[in-house]
Structure 1
Amino acid sequence: MPTTYIPENVKSCQHHLGYLLPPLLLGLQFINRPYVIKGPELYILLQAFCEVARNMTRLDDENSLTDEDYKIFCPLSKEQFRELFTYCDRVPREGGYRYVSKKDLLMFLCKIRQGLSDEFLCAMFQYSSRQDTSLAIATVRKSLTQRFVPANIGFDAIRRENYITIIEI
């Protein structure tokens, strides 16, 4: 049976190992000795890494998420999310424009619904830094403010006749 040795000077952290195999992760962090991972155990570890990689790329592909997945991240169905994305126009900036991706919008809605920190969202949605996460949030906010907010929120969003009808009911 093949054996894999992990030398004692190998460093590990939750960011690189993901949230897999907590006992193994705890052992690697607190015990300074080599570990021997035999064939079947190595196979399980590699399968778990593959599963995490597959799940992380799901956030970039809207078709891989179900309606239930969308409702976990944000209070919208998949169809409502797609409709909201049509309001995400490019945002002017010095020297060009910033564009909103579906991942940016999903992350923004997740932040609004869950109240998660930028650091947590950075790790969860695989942004390169907290600053990139904050920039994506600001870009989505500015984008929605340009067209979605005026069309759907405030006095300009509803005609006087519709407002009177709603009050009479």
Structure 2
Amino acid sequence: MKIFTIILGVLMAICGVSCICTPVMTFLEAGYFLVILLLVYGIGAIVKAVMEKEYGLPFLFGILSIILGIVIMVVPGLKLMTDGMLIYFMAVWFLLQGAVGIFMAVRQKNSEESKGWVWVLILGILGVLVGIYSLVHPMLLAFTFGILVGLYFIESGISMIVLVCSVHSE
């Protein structure tokens, strides 16, 4: 699992560099990523519900996710509106991810293995600051969306690698 996490962290950092190199394209294609996520979630929820023979809220949300993904894809202008909404979602995501990073750093500091917690704390604080700034200046976020997403992916990849390498394997 440690190797898989390191590989995933490296891949996230590489994707981050790609986003930084193509910031406008990253922003313009962000809506398609949301569509893909909605479709994958919807299919997964439906398959799980059918396998477990439970047709409650998860099944309903799966169907709604697929419908929403298809609607965003085919209705003209809706993808552009989705891209605009993603600016605010991304700002909140930066804020929450930074807060989680701070929480994880404090938790790691108090554990027996406290190596690397300072880096996670610094990156968490940066995430919170970027999130707050992005909420205050959404147009700037639109122009720098690809760069910020790239930095987020690089930060997340590095955090994953630092955290997994600092945990003592038994």
TM-score by length of 2: 0.25
Structure number with higher relative contact order (C-alpha < 8 Å, ≥ 6 residues apart): 2
Q: Is the radius of gyration larger for structure 1 or structure 2?
A: 1
- Structure number having the greater helix percentage: 2
TM-score by length of 1: 0.25
- Structure number having the greater strand percentage: 1
